[in-house]
Amino acid sequence: MDSHAMDAFDVGRLVPGFRPPQADVDADAACRDAAALAAADTAMRRWRSPLDGPLRPGSERHRSETCRMFEQTFNPYRPAVLDWPVLAPATRARIVALPIWDIAVQTEGKARLRMAAYAATLGEADMRNALALNAWEEHRHKEVLSRMVAAYGIELAPEPPQPLPQDPEWAYLVTGYSECIDSFFAFGLFELARRSGLFPPALVDTFEPVMQEECRHILLFANWAGWHRARLSPWRRLRFELKVVRVWAFLAWERIGLARAVDGAGAAGGGAGQDNNFTLNGAQAMADDGVRLPTLLALCLAENERRFAGYDERLLRPATVPRLVRMALRLMRPFARRD
Footprint of Fe ion on this chain (CB under 5 A)?
138, 141, 179, 217
Rounded least distance, CB 112 to Fe ion, Å: 8
Q: Between residues 128 and 217, which has the closer beta carbon with respect to Fe ion?
A: 217
d(CA 277, CA 283): 10
* 134, 217 Cβ separation under 8 angstroms: yes
d(CA 136, CA 133): 5
Rounded least distance, CB 277 to Fe ion, Å: 5
- Report the candidate in 266, 211, 256 with the shortest Cα–Cα distance to residue 99: 266
Judging by beta carbons within 10 Å of its beta carbon (0-12, 13-18, 19+), is residue 307 exposed, middle or buried?
buried
Rounded least distance, CB 178 to Fe ion, Å: 9
The alpha-carbon radius of gyration of the chain (Å, integer) is: 20
Cβ atoms within 10 Å, residue 315: 21
Rounded least distance, CB 141 to Fe ion, Å: 4
Residues 6+ apart with CB under 8 A from 72: 43, 47
Q: Between residues 141 and 307, which has the closer beta carbon with respect to Fe ion?
A: 141
Q: Between residues 220 and 292, which has the closer beta carbon with respect to Fe ion?
A: 220
Rounded least distance, CB 143 to Fe ion, Å: 11
Q: Between residues 171 and 237, which has the closer beta carbon with respect to Fe ion?
A: 171
d(CA 275, CA 111): 8
d(CA 205, CA 257): 32
Q: Between residues 60 and 159, which has the closer beta carbon with respect to Fe ion?
A: 159
Q: Between residues 49 and 183, which has the closer beta carbon with respect to Fe ion?
A: 183
Rounded least distance, CB 176 to Fe ion, Å: 9
Rounded least distance, CB 107 to Fe ion, Å: 7
* 128, 122 Cβ separation under 8 angstroms: yes
Question: What pairs with residue 47 in β-bridges?
Answer: 311
Rounded least distance, CB 248 to Fe ion, Å: 18
Q: Between residues 10 and 60, which has the closer beta carbon with respect to Fe ion?
A: 10
Q: Which helix (H) or strand (E) holds 173?
A: helix 168-196
- The conformation of residue 2, written as its DSSP 8-state character, comes to -
d(CA 177, CA 88): 36
Q: Between residues 138 and 254, which has the closer beta carbon with respect to Fe ion?
A: 138
Give the HSE-up count for residue 189: Cα atoms under 13 Å, Cβ half-sphere. Answer: 20
Rounded least distance, CB 336 to Fe ion, Å: 33
DSSP 206-268: HHHHHHHHHHHHHHHHHHHHHHHHHTS-HHHHHHHHHHHHHHHHHHHHHHHHHHHHHHSTTGG
Q: Between residues 217 and 228, which has the closer beta carbon with respect to Fe ion?
A: 217
